[in-house]
Chains A and B, each alone.
Chain A
Amino acid sequence: MTRTVRRNRRSLSAAGAGVAALLALSACSSSDSDSSSTKADSSASDKLSGTVTVFAAASLKESFTTLGKAFEKAHPGTKVTFSFGGSDSLAASITGGAPADVFASASPKTMKIVTDAGDATGTPVTFVRNQLEIATLPGNPGKVASLKDLTNPDLKVVLCDKEVPCGAAAQKALDASSLKLTPVSYEQDVKAALTKVELKEADAAVVYKTDVHAAGDKVEGVEFPESAGAINDYPITLLKGTRNTDAAKAFVALVRSADGQKVLTGAGFLKP
């Protein structure tokens, strides 16, 4: 069967290679992506300057920080500042008037809050996708190989609450396979769920691939085929209030470029 227990390898080297490639090439290397939203590419060789403020989902922290550094190096005189957090609260800040140039959300639902409020320019584009994965204790002592194995009553399993995206996705996967799973707890966000496994208080959690990746050796990831039916799209958009359109466009272009994608897939994200 589809038993694909995978040891987490740190692919920092992959991310590092991505950054190196980014630095070698200038940002205009990404002009192969769709022309409507990347008009800034032509002007990328022009002098960009100023600050780009990016509001991004917490799960993007590692990879976007890497991309931000690469951007600053490729365009001396620019600065990328980030606000990472839950997509819902970021969206609330943006509609509340927070000064941001770019918004990268962990779900189309939260992006819709921003577009419905008329705070985005253009149509948001999906730039990565995130898939669920089972996080188990190191060495997988519970011998978890499938989603069904989590229904074993001897295992302490934590899920995200259904109100938050990771919980909704997990529920979708469970429903699709008609599995009834009684967790010991519905955690308030994906990191809280993962932490319970890292602390060995729970035997397994259903989290994102990227979270398993970021946890390194502290957990072991188990892929399950049902996760394919519950993939989260991450949309990115330019915001209306931006005062630094060219630089903001260039940053979005970088995220969507082949080199940007390399950094993101290195962190465990899937290509859109």
Chain B
Amino acid sequence: MTPTDRADGSRGVPLPLLVPALIGLAFLIVPLVALLVRAPWRSMPGQLTSADVWQALQLSLLCATAATAVSLVLGVPLAWLLARVEFPGRGLVRALVTLPLVLPPVVGGVALLMALGRNGVVGKWLDTWFGITLPFTTTGVVIAEAFVAMPFLVISVEGTLRAADPRYEEAAATLGASRFTAFRRVTLPLIAPGIAAGAVLAWARALGEFGATITFAGNFPGRTQTMPLAVYLALQSDPEAAIALSLVLLAVSVAVLAGLRDRWMTAR
């Protein structure tokens, strides 16, 4: 550990910083390693090739992707609104948007039930007018996941927008572009890496979503049972299966985050 063979700027890491940093690292990594250590490697192939697991994984991937799509369609304009338009109560709106980040997901699920449930404030009308009920459906899973995941996208995109120089948009405006055209042709390409980073975060959050999903959408194999739900219920009777399922989820998350991080998240 000679300071000389380090690159500039990282010479001589002070011990009072290094020790807690390493403990912090261990704190985050050890539980994941423990999962690997305790994994039932021998019965793993059998556990993972079962139809139930594939069904749950497929549904997880499908719903997380759909929730990310919903977040993109609604979240990017929302982020733009928060970053570029002055309106009264903007601070409050921004705080409300970030609320699902800190809300316990179960509370989110209860709130969704109160709003969109069959007997909910909005859901009641959806049911009487259109015969649509959202709880216990795959759409319900997507809604629950989008509810907890979209704020990640909004925060990320808003941050990028604030960092992006508005003069490009102003220049476009002086050249006769409407605000929407400027958004499409100038702003969007400018903030694409931020959008991608937000989308990845949202996708990963949606993939791991448990509380809101089980509360709002329930648990039915093939329809609303995503991987996290399958893990939780497997834990009641078959911890080995739960570990195996957890590993799959972990592997998928790591693969996506690692694969996309280098490409998008540091591209700014």
Contact = CB atoms under 8 A, between A and B. Distances in A.
A161 B136 contact: no
A161 B219 contact: yes
A163 to B, nearest CB: 4
A188 B219 contact: yes
Contacts of B117: 199-201
Contacts of B225: 186
B83 interface: no
Contacts of B218: 158, 184-187, 196
B118 A201 contact: yes
Interface stretch (B16-24, B146-154, B231-239): B231-239
7 contacts: A88-B236, A164-B236, A184-B220, A185-B218, A186-B225, A187-B218, A200-B117
Contacts of A241: none
Interface string A201-213: 1100000000000
Contacts of B233: 161, 163, 186, 188
Given A185-B219, A186-B219, A161 B119 contact: no
Interface in B199-252: 214, 217-221, 224-225, 232-234, 236-238
A201 B236 contact: no
Interface residues of B, number: 20
Contacts of B217: 185
B113 interface: yes
A68 to B, nearest CB: 28
Contacts of A161: 219, 233, 236
Given A184-B220, A185-B224, A201-B135, 5 more contacts: A161-B219, A186-B233, A187-B218, A188-B233, A200-B117
State the main secondary structure of chain A at its contact with B: loop
A75 interface: no
Interface in B89-135: 113, 117-119, 135
A156 interface: yes
A199 B113 CA distance: 8
Given A88-B236, A161-B233, A164-B236, A183 B119 contact: no
B43 to A, nearest CB: 18
B119 A163 contact: no
A173 B217 CA distance: 26
A163 B236 contact: yes
A165 to B, nearest CB: 9
Nearest to A168: B237
A163 B239 CA distance: 12
A65 to B, nearest CB: 25
Nearest to A182: B220
Contacts of A183: 220
Nearest to B134: A201
B141 to A, nearest CB: 11
A186 B113 CA distance: 17
A192 B109 CA distance: 12
